[in-house]
């Protein structure tokens, strides 16, 4: 546990027509069989940590990051897409005399990138959505089961959706869809005094 955590956001009609559009930010805990991140990884547990938000923003992703770290500790690495929340994009006009990519000065980190550096958590960018297969497949399951559960529960607001997610869906997910890790070791590291809360 805690060697690799996949992190992604899904925009979907989670509350169907009962509410404005919501985003589900989710983290799925993973473990690499060799101790290093790879595209083909062995599920350690598939444990879910998630919340609904109104906007897929730096602020909302930082809240989820902090709630994960506060609850489980600092994972070794996060595996995400290449969204601008995670990396600063260089904006230059195309020029045949432009400096080659490998010779450019490094861009400053984003707010999330800086937080990960301060927490000593490695950020790994997936080059394709398929590389984050477990978290992508978890959204397919959630878009079926979670939408139905929210409908039955009568959830109409962000608060009601998050309450159902926290008290019903995530406990069901973590009880039913997780697996026993091949190793009982937990790679999460505790927060130290230098980590500003």
d(C-alpha 91, C-alpha 82), whole Å: 15
Is the Cβ–Cβ distance between 76 and 187 less than 8 Å? Answer: yes
More confident residue, 5 or 37: 5
CB atoms within 10 A of CB 87: 17
Query: What pLDDT is stored for residue 107 in this prediction?
Result: 81
Contact partners, residue 104, CB within 8 Å, separation at least 6: 90
Measuring CA to CA, which residue among 84, 144, 120, 112 is closest to residue 27? 112
Query: What pLDDT is stored for residue 108 in this prediction?
Result: 87
pLDDT by residue (tens digit) across 24-82?
Answer: 999 887 544 443 322 223 346 788 999 999 999 999 999 999 999 999 999 999 988 88
Query: What pLDDT is stored for residue 24 in this prediction?
Result: 94
Mean pLDDT of 90-110: 69
pLDDT by residue (tens digit) across 167-186?
Answer: 999 999 989 988 887 788 88
Domains located in the chain, CATH noted: 4-89+104-133+144-176 (3.30.420.10)
Is the Cβ–Cβ distance between 23 and 9 less than 8 Å? Answer: yes
d(C-alpha 83, C-alpha 57), whole Å: 11
Query: What pLDDT is stored for residue 35 in this prediction?
Result: 38
Q: With pLDDT > 70 as the criterion, what percentage of the chain qualifies?
A: 84
d(C-alpha 171, C-alpha 165), whole Å: 8
Longest dimension (CA), the chain: 60
71: burial class by Cβ within 10 Å (0-12, 13-18, 19+)?
exposed
């Amino acid at each position: 546990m805690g060697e690799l955590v996949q992190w992604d956001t899904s925009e979907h009609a989670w509350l169907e027509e009962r509410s404005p559009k919501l985003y589900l930010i989710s983290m799925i805990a993973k473990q690499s069989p060799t101790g290093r991140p790879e595209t083909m990884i062995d599920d350690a547990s598939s444990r879910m940590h998630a919340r609904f938000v109104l906007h897929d923003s730096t602020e909302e992703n930082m809240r989820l990051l902090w709630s994960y770290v506060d609850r489980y500790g600092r994972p070794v690495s996060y595996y995400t897409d290449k969204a601008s929340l995670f990396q600063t994009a260089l904006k230059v006009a195309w020029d045949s005399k432009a400096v080659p990519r490998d010779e450019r000065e490094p861009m400053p980190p984003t707010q999330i990138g800086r937080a990960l550096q301060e927490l000593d958590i490695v950020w790994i960018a997936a080059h394709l959505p398929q590389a984050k297969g477990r978290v992508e497949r978890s959204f397919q399951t959630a878009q079926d089961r979670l939408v139905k559960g929210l409908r039955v529960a009568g959830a109409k607001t962000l608060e009601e959706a998050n309450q159902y997610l926290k008290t019903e869906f995530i406990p069901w997910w973590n009880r039913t869809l997780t697996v026993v890790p091949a190793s009982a070791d937990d790679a999460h590291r505790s927060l130290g005094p230098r980590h500003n809360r």
